[in-house]
Structure 1
Amino acid sequence: MSTFTVCLNPLPKSSVCQVDFGTELSGLDLENLSDMDFGILHKALYENQVVVIKNQKSLSPHAQYELTRRFDPSAGIYSHGKSIDKRSVLHADLTTIPHQPQVQVIGSGSVDEYEGLVKLKLKHPHHKAFHKHPISAEDDAEFTHFYRWHIDSAMYNLDPPLITSLLAVQVPQGRRQTLCYDDGTNTELDVPLGTTAFFSGYRLYEMLTDEEKYFVRTSKIEYAPHPYIWMSKAKSRSNGLGIVSEGLELSMDGLPQFEDSKIKIYPMAWKNPVTGKLAMMVYPTCVRKIHLENGEVLDDLVEIRERLYSLQRRAIDPQFVYPHDWKEGDLVLFNNHGVMHSIVGSFKEDEVRVFRQCNMAASRPPMGPGDSLPAQ
């Protein structure tokens, strides 16, 4: 059994910082993780939502897969399936490791060889291709946006992974950017280059009024079929929290063939399987309808998006956002049913970034408010 030490993650500290999640664990042999140590890791993740384990650069893709799958032993297929349609907005962002197809290589820049892949041209998602009002080209090196606040998931046919693991293999250091919300609030946030930003769905739920909590607890979200194709022509808000409503979504007739039985309808509030706490977890980019407690179905996208935005916007105020400052060898695991996250930043051509991402479609849908906790 390894020596296991739990300490608070070095989160940004200021007089207004209210980030209440995240921890750093040390003393783990992840290639040979005992059941006892995994039990501690499992508990730490669901109590802290984001877990950082440093100095894991030598972790093999297979060990990363096995560690990630251990949180959901019945899972096995990558979260978006065996292949991603070329029309999907995700298609250019992911490269599958041939000998471990549940693990993807993501990043930026040219890489001669990595894990059996040769002459890689990694493309970091840049908000200029997705936002209605991107940062100007002349200011791109200094300023940036949240790219897209999201839950890792296909949101059609397959259920959202329970957790995601991210490993930093190569990270350019030394440069920071000013993140501009550009949403009429004059809000800015100083961030490390290429940070991954997180906010807590549990904190968001706690910030709601009693009336808002009731709405969230009793309503369900219907996501669009093939959502990343459906919204491929639409543009995002500048703070990455949902779509600008311009009627650019594809019609149902314009989508690949889909089955109604595979359309996902999830609760707006997801229950933590260890603590029982509720998180407001809604992926605003992919939302198509809201199902109310009384059976009414809301389908006006403009009204739906404004209503969700009024609920979720408070969660991305700077004091509630944790922007991880990546170092090579950082392994970050996060509760994909409890926190939302966003890619951030823009890299220069000579700034090479190599990450490995692993998540798998869950063996069960998210737990709703009325679901019983599993036996521990």
Structure 2
Amino acid sequence: MHMPTSMGYIGYIRDRFRTAVFSNSGWSPVIAGVLIGLIQIISYVWVNKPFTVYAGFLNWGQHIYSSLGIKIFGVPKQLPLFEPTSAGDIGVIIGASLAAALSGELALRRVGRAIDVIEAVVGGILMALGVSLAFGCNWGGFISAITSWSLHGFAFLIGAVIGGLLGLRYTIYRIESEWRKSLSMVYEKRALLNSDSSSRDASYMLLIPLIALGILVAYYAIVGSYMVGGMLMGTIVGIVLQRSRLCFATAFRDLFNGPENRRALDIHKGIAVAILVGSVGVFALKYMGIRDPMISVSPVHVTNVLGGLIFTFGSIVAGGCASGVLWRAGEGHMKSWIAILSTVLAYPIFASLLRPLTSSFPRVFLPAVVGWIGSFVAMLIFIAAYTTVIYYLEYRYVGKQRLH
């Protein structure tokens, strides 16, 4: 087989790389899970914390309120570019934009119906309320919590499953409701300003995230800030999530929505792998004393379950989880930008009201309770049980169909 004479070796490699990495088929959620687990470990080493989202949103919201002269919801301790979680959030948007541009999926998508605006606002508010109760979102309250060996992550998971079921019921109601159809007449028909084909031809769109990334990296290099690590970790997360279409809202909404739950089950497989890889790495860092064992170990109570429920339901209403709205915003979804603004404005309010009431609950670091070996064995049992449930649901809803 001969290469076309018009395409040199570099061009051939570039074409093969783009086809393999940025094709429309996307990445396997399991591969995404491996990468997310590794990112958690690297983030611990580089910025002394796992990847999370809402601390950055809190920083943004406090800056907005402070600029308006409102100080009662807290004063930001750092500028957005120098708060590690905020830097990571910015990185997710840039990374998702970069991946979307390379795969021909970067386009400005308008909000076409009034109900979409309402859902984005209400969903964002509910997410902020849930995070305030659960001490974290689907990252800080769930996957990063569990990989940090904190009990509050398991409490969040219980609430997330229930919230997903409620979210599914709402989604079914929303689709079937005549009210939604009548209200949609208020707004113009949804329009895609840049279609797939136009996005592919408009390679100049790739320059936007590239320039933003280049400016930020150069700035961090000039000022000598290690926050470049948080931003780069976020950028990688944005690329991984956009390419794998991995969203926790989808995972929990459709978990029991057989036979339409194949995508959700695949995402849960990726989550299980991420927990396995991340928890083993973080275990080593904390066991060897390289990192403080209590990093990302938050209070646990029934409020974590309630918060997980409210957050997950809110994320389904909003159209994306904490990271989901970030990478969708990077793709150009205006509904996600509205949800981000809504939750950014709501979170400082809820946090200032609820955190004083919940901060006194005990922080449970699992190895401190059952020992290092005992907790490690318990984690392996949990991951095995988690995976068994996922494959059982796959067999029940998908496998049986193949047999008939």
Which range, TM-score by smaller chain? under 0.3
TM-score by length of 2: 0.23
Larger % of strand: which? 1
TM-score by length of 1: 0.24
Structure number, greater radius of gyration: 2
